[in-house]
Chains A and B, each alone.
Chain A
Amino acid sequence: MSDKIPVTVLTGYLGAGKTTLLNRILSEDHGHRFAVIVNEFGEIGIDNDLVVGADEEVFEMNNGCICCTVRGDLIRIIEGLMKRKGKFDAIIVETTGLADPAPVAQTFFVDQDVQDEARLDAVVTVADAKWLAARLKDAPEAKNQIAFADVIILNKMDLVSPEELREVEARIRAINPYATLHKTSKCQVPLDAVLGKNAFDLDRILEIEPAFLEVDDHDHDHDHDHAHGHDHHHHDHGLKHYHDEEMQSVAIRLDGEVDPNRFMPWINLIAQREGPKILRSKGILAFKDEPKRFVFQGVHMILDGDLQREWREDEKRECKVVFIGRDLNEEDLRSGFLACAVDAAKQ
C-alpha cells in the first residue's frame, strides 16, 4: 500500500495502564522503531530515543464547521518528525485521560501535509476493569474514549470478580459493540492486537458486524500468570444487555441495493446535521448498477468514502451502516437509510 507512517492513538483514563502498555510496546523486540508523542513530557518514564512532548492544543478550523477541531501541536510535531524519516517507522500518540480523541483523529483527515505523510492506524483505549464502570457514570471523557475506540484493552481484570467483569464488558458493549475487546491484566496483549490494525483504511473495513463472539485473549497468552483469569465459566452466561442512555450505537442493515443518488445526499446531510453527535460511522454498500462495494468511514462530520473491491459471486448484495454517537435518533437514521433503498421508491 502506501509508505505513509502509521499512527496509533493511545487513549485511556488516568491510571488505566497506558504507560504500562506504551513501555511494553517500546521495549519488546518487534523490529519496529517508534516516535512517541506524549502529553506530559518528562513526567513519565519512557525509554525511547524519539519522545516528543505535545501540549494537546485543540483549535477549531476557521471553516464554519463546528466539529472540525484539530490538534495544532500534532500537525507541527508530525511535520518535524517527517524530517527524521528513517529513524522510526511508526508513531504513537499518547493522550491524557481527559482528552477527547476526536481532534486527534480529525487532524489526520483535515491537514493535507499530515495526510500526505502519515495515516491513522487505530484508536486504542486502555480501560481499568475495576474503575471503568464508575467512570462511565461520572466522566463523559471515559465514555468518549470507549465510543471512539477501534481496540479496547480492558486491563486489570485480575482485580475484579467475574461478575464485575461481565458487568463492565456489557457496559462497554452498550456503547461500542464494534471495537475489538481484549481482556487482560498488566496490559499483556499481543502487540499485533494493538498495532497495524488499519482501522481507518477503507480497504480493511471488511467486517462491521458486532464482535460479540470473540475469544478472550488470555487464552492465547501462556507466559504469564493470572490464575483466576482462567476461570471460564462466565462465557456460558452471555452478556448482560445494557442500554446506555447517552451514548449508543445504531446498526442498520438493508437487503439489496441503495441508490447512490439518494444515499450520498442523505449521508452527507446526516454528517452535516448529526456530525457533532456522531463519533464514528462506518458502512459497506451495494450501489445500484455498481459491481464494486462502496465503503465509507467517518469521524464526526468528516466522511471518507470510496469504491472498493468487487462484490464476489457468493456474496449477498446488501448494505450495512453503523453509527456510534450521543443521543442518536435511531428511528430517524433507520427510516432515512431505508428510504435510500433502490426498491424503496417503488413501494
Chain B
Amino acid sequence: MMDDYDDSLTPHVQVLATGSDAVVAGFPGERPTLALGDGTILFADTGERVRAFEDANILLARADAKRIVAGGDDGKVIEIASEGKTTLLGDEDGKWIDAIALRDDGATAWSAGKTVRAREAKGAVKTFTAPSSARGLGFLPKGYRLAVSHYNGVSLWFPNIEGEPDLLKWQGSHLDLTLSPDGNFCITAMQENALHGWRIADKKDMRMTGYPGKTRSFSFSHDGQWLATSGADACVVWPFQSKDGPMGKPPRECGVRPVKVSQVAFHPRALVLAVGYEDGWVLMVRLDDGAELLVRKGLAEGETPPRDKPIVSALSWDKNGRRLLFGLQNGEAGLLTLPPVPPRR
C-alpha cells in the first residue's frame, strides 16, 4: 500500500546531512538554508555553515525572503542574512526565546516569557508585557501591528501607539499563531488539540476541532482561501473563501497516512501542498483531487521508530515554488528541485 506512491520526483531530491535537528527551513536570498538545533545555520547550496550561537541551542527560528532569525536557549535573538552575516537583535538575559515573527520590511518581534519586543528594521525596540507567557507572534499585514497569543486569548498590539492592546478573548492556552494573508482572520493552535480563530473585524469566534494532536504547523494558500494544518493523520485543510471563514463547512483532508502530519507548506503559486510526517515521509499533494507524489520515503509502515525519531520538523518552498527544502529532527534533510515542465503544445 505504502509503496504505491508515484516516486518520479525522488531522483530530483538532493540528500543533505546536517548533523543536527532542523528548526526551520527557508530561502533567504534564494539560498536553501536550514537553521539547526546545534546553533548553526547551513546554507545548503554551498555547504557553508555559520555558527550563529557560540554556546547555545537554537530553540526556534523564522525565515523570510532575506534572512533567518533564530532564538537561542541563551536568550539571544540573532539575525542571519543570506550572505551569512549575523546580527544580534536582542538579548533576554538567559531566558528562553519562545516565539519569533518577521515582517517583510525587516522588522522583527520576539518573546521570552511575558516580555514581547518589536524591533523595527532600523533598530527601535518597543516592549509589551503580555498578561501571561506569549507563545505565538505574528505581524498583521496592514500597519505596524503585532498579534500576541497567550493564556485566554490574543492581544493585538501597535508597538508605536500608546494605549492598551485590543484583546481577542477565548479561554485556554493559545500556542502558535497565524494570520490570513488579507489580515482578516487570526488563528491560534491551542493546548487542547484544537484551533481557535477570530474574524478580527468583529472578533467573531470560530472553533476548529477534531485533531488527535496539537497543531504545530500551519500554512495559508497563496490566494488566502485555504489553511493547511498539522496535528492529524492527514493534512487538514480549512476553507477560508467566505467572509465567515470555515464556519459550518467541513475541512478537507489530504495526504492521509497512518502517521501524524508534522509540517505543512502550501506552494506559493498553486494549490499544491508539501506535507511532512512524524515518520520521515514527505509528500506533495494536489488539493483539487488529492493526487499524491512521493518526495521522501521514511520508515516502513509499522516499523518501530528509532530513539532519534525521524520527525519532519522543517519544510519550506522557495518563492517561485521550484524548490522544496525539508529537514528532520534526526539531522537528515533534503532539497527537491522540481524538474522543468515540458512545454505545452
Q: Is B37 in the interface zone, CB < 8 Å from A?
A: yes
B37 contacts A83, C-beta separation under 8 Å: yes
CB nearest to B172 among chain A residues: A62
B94 contacts A57, C-beta separation under 8 Å: no
Q: Find chain A residues with CB under 8 A from B329 CB.
A: 83
Q: Is B95 in the interface zone, CB < 8 Å from A?
A: yes
User: Interface stretch among A73-81, A173-181, A200-208, A331-339?
Assistant: A73-81
Q: Is A55 in the interface zone, CB < 8 Å from B?
A: yes
Q: Find chain B residues with CB under 8 A from A22 CB.
A: none
Q: Is B169 in the interface zone, CB < 8 Å from A?
A: no
A112 contacts B213, C-beta separation under 8 Å: yes
User: Contact mask B128-160 → A, CB, 8 Å, 1/0?
Assistant: 000011010000000000000001100000000
B307 contacts A59, C-beta separation under 8 Å: no
User: Contact mask A32-53 → B, CB, 8 Å, 1/0?
Assistant: 0000000001100000000011
Q: Give chain A interface residues in 247-261, CB to chain B under 8 Å.
A: none
Q: How far is the CA of A112 from the CA of B215 in the complex (A)?
A: 13
B151 contacts A72, C-beta separation under 8 Å: yes
Q: Which residues of B contact A (CB under 8 A)?
A: 21, 37, 57, 59, 73, 93-96, 98, 113-114, 132-133, 135, 151-152, 171-173, 190-192, 213-214, 307, 329
Q: Find chain B residues with CB under 8 A from A57 CB.
A: 132-133, 151
A80 contacts B73, C-beta separation under 8 Å: yes
Q: Which residues of A contact B (CB under 8 A)?
A: 3, 41-42, 52-53, 55, 57, 59-63, 70, 72-73, 75-77, 80, 83-84, 111-113
Further 20 A-B residue pairs, CB within 8 A, beyond A60-B171, A60-B172 = A52-B73, A53-B95, A57-B133, A57-B151, A59-B152, A61-B172, A61-B191, A61-B192, A62-B171, A62-B173, A62-B191, A62-B192, A63-B192, A72-B133, A72-B151, A73-B113, A76-B133, A77-B96, A80-B73, A83-B59
A-B contact list, 11 entries, CB within 8 Å: A41-B95, A59-B152, A59-B191, A60-B172, A61-B191, A63-B192, A70-B191, A73-B113, A83-B37, A83-B57, A111-B191
Please classify the interface of chain A as helix (H, G, I), strand (E, B), loop, or mixed, using the class held by over half of its residues.
mixed
Partner of B57, one of A59, A63, A84: A84
Q: Find chain B residues with CB under 8 A from A73 CB.
A: 113, 133
Q: Find chain B residues with CB under 8 A from A112 CB.
A: 213-214
A41 contacts B133, C-beta separation under 8 Å: no
Q: Find chain B residues with CB under 8 A from A70 CB.
A: 191
Given the interface pairs A52-B96, A62-B172, the reply to whether A76 lies near B192 with Cβ below 8 Å is no
B94 contacts A72, C-beta separation under 8 Å: no
CB nearest to A63 among chain B residues: B192
Compute the total of residue contacts between A and B using a CB distance below 8 Å. Answer: 64
Q: How far is the CA of A62 from the CA of B93 in the complex (A)?
A: 33
Q: How far is the CA of A3 from the CA of B59 in the complex (A)?
A: 23
In the assembled complex, the CB of A41 is this many whole angstroms from the nearest CB of chain B, namely 7
Q: How far is the CA of A60 from the CA of B192 in the complex (A)?
A: 11
Q: How far is the CA of A77 from the CA of B152 in the complex (A)?
A: 20
Q: Find chain B residues with CB under 8 A from A72 CB.
A: 132-133, 135, 151, 173, 191
Q: Find chain A residues with CB under 8 A from B213 CB.
A: 112-113
Partner of B59, one of A41, A42, A80: A80
Partner of B135, one of A3, A41, A63, A76: A76
Q: How far is the CA of A113 from the CA of B173 in the complex (A)?
A: 15
A62 contacts B190, C-beta separation under 8 Å: yes
B173 contacts A41, C-beta separation under 8 Å: no
Q: How far is the CA of A76 from the CA of B59 in the complex (A)?
A: 11
B192 contacts A80, C-beta separation under 8 Å: no
Q: How far is the CA of A213 from the CA of B20 in the complex (A)?
A: 52
Q: How far is the CA of A60 from the CA of B132 in the complex (A)?
A: 13
B21 contacts A83, C-beta separation under 8 Å: yes
Q: Find chain A residues with CB under 8 A from B93 CB.
A: 42
Q: Find chain B residues with CB under 8 A from A55 CB.
A: 113-114, 133
Q: Find chain A residues with CB under 8 A from B94 CB.
A: 41-42, 53
Q: Find chain A residues with CB under 8 A from B135 CB.
A: 72, 76
Q: How far is the CA of A75 from the CA of B216 in the complex (A)?
A: 14
Q: How far is the CA of A55 from the CA of B150 in the complex (A)?
A: 13
The 6 closest A-B pairs by CB, nearest first: A62-B172, A72-B173, A59-B151, A59-B173, A57-B132, A62-B171
Q: How far is the CA of A76 from the CA of B73 in the complex (A)?
A: 12
Q: Find chain A residues with CB under 8 A from B37 CB.
A: 83
Interface centre among B73, B93, B190 (most CB of A within 10 A): B73
In the assembled complex, the CB of A65 is this many whole angstroms from the nearest CB of chain B, namely 11
CB nearest to A80 among chain B residues: B59
A59 contacts B172, C-beta separation under 8 Å: yes
Q: How far is the CA of A148 from the CA of B93 in the complex (A)?
A: 34
Q: How far is the CA of A331 from the CA of B73 in the complex (A)?
A: 53
CB nearest to A112 among chain B residues: B213
Q: Find chain A residues with CB under 8 A from B171 CB.
A: 60, 62
Q: How far is the CA of A59 from the CA of B190 in the complex (A)?
A: 12
Q: Find chain A residues with CB under 8 A from B114 CB.
A: 55
Q: Find chain A residues with CB under 8 A from B96 CB.
A: 52-53, 76-77, 80
CB nearest to A62 among chain B residues: B172
B307 contacts A3, C-beta separation under 8 Å: yes
